[in-house]
Amino acid sequence: MEDTMALQNDLTPVVEMKGITKHFPGVTANNQVTLKLYPGEVLALLGENGAGKSSLMNVLVGLYRQDEGEILVRGTPAEIHSPKDAVQLGLGMVHQNFKLVETMTVAENVVLGLKHLDFIPSFSEICRRINTISRQYNLQVDPRAYIWQLGVGEQQRVEILKLIYRGADILILDEPTAVLTPQESGELSRIIAQMIDEGKSAIFITHKMEEIKRFSQRVQVLRKGETAAVLETSKTTPSELARLMVGREVLFRLEKKICCPGEPVLEVKNLCASNEAGRPSLQDLSFIIRAGEILGIAGVAGNGQRKLTEVITGLDRADSGKVVIQGKDMTNRTPLDLIQSGVSHIPPDRISMGIVGDMSVASNLVMKEYRSEPVVKRGIFNYKEVAKSAKEKIDAYNISTPSQNTEAKFLSGGNIQKIILAREIGACRGLLIASYPSRGLDVGAMEAVRLQLIDQRNIGNAVLLVSEDLEELITVADRIAVIYEGRIMGEVPAEKADIKIIGHMMAGASLKGAAQAAAEAELGEDGI
Amino acid sequence: MRLYFEKRKTSSKIVLICVPIISLVISLILTGFLLLVFGVNPLATFSAMFNGAFGSSQNFAETLVKAVPLMLTGLGVSIAFRLRFWNIGAEGQLVLGGVAATWVALFASPYIPAFLLLPSVLLAGALAGAAWAGVPALLKTRLQVDETLTTLMLNYVAILIAEGLFYGAWRDPGGMGFPGTARFPQAAWLPRIYGRVHYGLVFALILAVVLWFFIYHTKWGFELHMIGKNRTAANYLGVNIKRTILVSILISGAFSGLAGASEVAGLARRLQEGLIQGYGYTAIIVAWMAQLNPFASIAAAILMAALLVGGDQVQMMMRLPSAVGLVMQGMILFPLLAGSLFSEYRLRISRTRGEETP
Ligand SMILES: Nc1ncnc2c1ncn2[C@@H]1O[C@H](COP(=O)(O)OP(=O)(O)OP(=O)(O)O)[C@@H](O)[C@H]1O
Ligand SMILES: [Mg+2]
* Closest to B236 (Cα-Cα) out of A347, A425, A433, A506: A347
Q: Which of A77, A339, A363 lies at the smallest CB-CB distance from B238?
A: A339
> How high is the pLDDT of residue A2?
42
Contacts of residue A405, defined as CB under 8 A and 6 or more positions apart, other chains included, come to A360, A361, A362
Which ligand is nearest the CA of A46, by number? 1
Average confidence (pLDDT) over B66-75: 96
pLDDT for A172 equals 93
User: What residue ranges do the domains of chain B occupy?
Assistant: 41-62+85-199+257-282+303-319
- Nearest beta carbon to residue B232 from set A313, A338, A353: A353
Residue A511 has pLDDT above 80, yes or no: no
Question: Tens digits of per-residue pLDDT, A310-346?
Answer: 999 999 999 999 999 999 999 999 999 999 999 999 9
Provide the 8-state DSSP code for A125: H
How far is A134 from chain B, CA to nearest CA, in Å?
A: 33
Ligand 1 pocket by Cβ (under 6 Å)? A 24, 27, 29, 47, 49-55, 96, 400-401, 410-415; B 9
Span A263-304, pLDDT tens digits: 999 999 999 998 877 788 899 999 999 999 999 999 877 788
Task: Output A211 or B204, whichever has higher pLDDT.
Answer: B204
Burial class (CB in 10 A: 0-12, 13-18, 19+), B236: buried
Cβ contacts of B233 on chain A, cutoff 8 Å: 352-356
Residue A369 CA to residue A312 CA, distance in Å, equals: 21
Substitution candidate for ligand 1 out of A30, A33, A48, A54 with most atoms within 8 A of CB: A54
Chain mean pLDDT for chain B: 86
Mean pLDDT, rounded, for A440-452: 85
Q: Does A410 touch chain B (CB under 8 A)?
A: yes
Superfamily, domain A257-342+429-528: P-loop containing nucleotide triphosphate hydrolases (3.40.50.300)
Q: What are the domain boundaries of chain A?
A: 4-246, 257-342+429-528, 353-427
Q: Name the residue with the closest Cα to ligand 1, atom 29.
A: A50
Any A CB within 8 A of B142 CB:
no
The alpha carbons of chain B give a radius of gyration, in whole angstroms, of: 22
Digit-coded pLDDT (tens) for B1-18: 455 555 555 556 676 777
Q: Which residues pair with A484 in a beta bridge?
A: A487
CA distance B193 to B188: 16
Sort strands B2-7 and B345-350 into parallel, antiparallel or unpaired.
antiparallel
> What local confidence, expressed as pLDDT, does residue A150 receive?
77
Rounded to 5°, the CA angle B334-B337-B338 comes to 85
Write down the pLDDT at residue A527: 45
Residues of B within 8 A of A363 (CB-CB) are 222, 225
Q: Tell me, in angstroms, the distance from the centre of ligand 2 to residue B143's CA.
A: 40
Does A79 sit within 8 Å of B240, measured CB to CB?
no
Residue of B219, B230, B238 lying closest to A336 (CB–CB): B238
Q: Chain B residue with minimal CA distance to A313?
A: B236
So what's the pLDDT on residue B351?
46
- For domain A4-246, the question of CATH label 3.40.50.300 is answered with yes
| Chain-chain contact of B353 with A79 (C-beta, under 8 angstroms) | yes
Q: What is the rounded distance in angstroms from the CA atom of residue B132 to the CA atom of residue B154?
A: 8
Q: Which atom of ligand 1 is nearest to the CA of B10?
A: 3
Q: Do A467 and A294 meet the contact criterion of CB atoms below 8 Å apart?
A: no
Looking at residue B355, what is its pLDDT?
33
Question: In CATH terms, are A4-246 and A257-342+429-528 the same topology?
Answer: yes
Confidence at residue B11, expressed as pLDDT on a 0 to 100 scale: 54
Atom 16 of ligand 1, nearest CA residue: A52
The per-residue pLDDT for A309 is 94
In this predicted structure, which of A175-179, A205-209, A430-434, B137-141 has the lowest mean pLDDT? A175-179
Q: How far apart are CA B165 and CA B270, in angstroms?
A: 12
Q: B247 — contact with chain A (CB < 8 Å)? A: no
Distance CA A517, CA A103 (A): 43
Residue with CA at minimum distance from ligand 1 atom 17: A412
Q: What is the pLDDT of residues A197-239, one digit of tens each?
A: 888 999 999 888 888 888 899 999 998 889 988 999 889 888 8
pLDDT of B356 reads: 32
Most confident range, picked from A142-151, A215-224, B127-136: B127-136
> Does A374 touch chain B if contact means CB atoms closer than 8 Å?
no
Question: B243 at the A interface (CB within 8 A)?
Answer: no
Mutate to test the interface with B, among A339, A367, A372, A384 (most CBs of B within 10 A): A367
Cα A52 to ligand 1 centroid, rounded to whole Å: 6
Find, in chain A, the residue whose alpha carbon is nearest to that of B226: A356
A79, A357, A410: residue with CB nearest B9: A410
Within an 8 Å CB–CB cutoff, is residue A64 touching chain B? yes
Q: Do A367 and B237 touch (CB under 8 A)?
A: yes
CA A27 to chain B, closest CA, distance in angstroms equals 12
A81-130 confidence digits (pLDDT tens): 888 888 889 998 888 777 777 788 888 888 776 655 556 667 788 888 88
Ligand nearest the Cα of residue A45 is 1
Cβ atoms of B89 and B298 closer than 8 Å: no
Cα of A283 vs its chain's centroid, Å? 27
From the centroid of its chain, how far is CA A140?
21
* pLDDT tens readout for residues A172-186: 999 888 777 777 778
State the distance from the centre of ligand 2 to the C-alpha of A356, rounded, in angstroms: 18
What ipTM does this complex have?
0.84
Give the mutation candidate from B2, B16, B222, B240 for the A interface (greatest A CB count, under 10 A).
Answer: B222
Q: Which of A460, A426, A409 is nearest to A97 (CA)?
A: A409
Residue ranges with CB less than 5 Å from ion ligand 2: A 54, 96, 412-413
Question: How many angstroms separate the alpha carbon of residue A21 from the centre of ligand 2?
Answer: 16
| Dihedral angle computed from the Cα positions of residues B47, B52, B53 and B54, in that order, rounded to the nearest 10 degrees | 80
User: Could you tell me the end-to-end alpha-carbon distance of chain B, in angstroms, rounded to an integer?
Assistant: 17
- The beta-carbon neighbor of A65 closest among B6, B226, B233 is B6
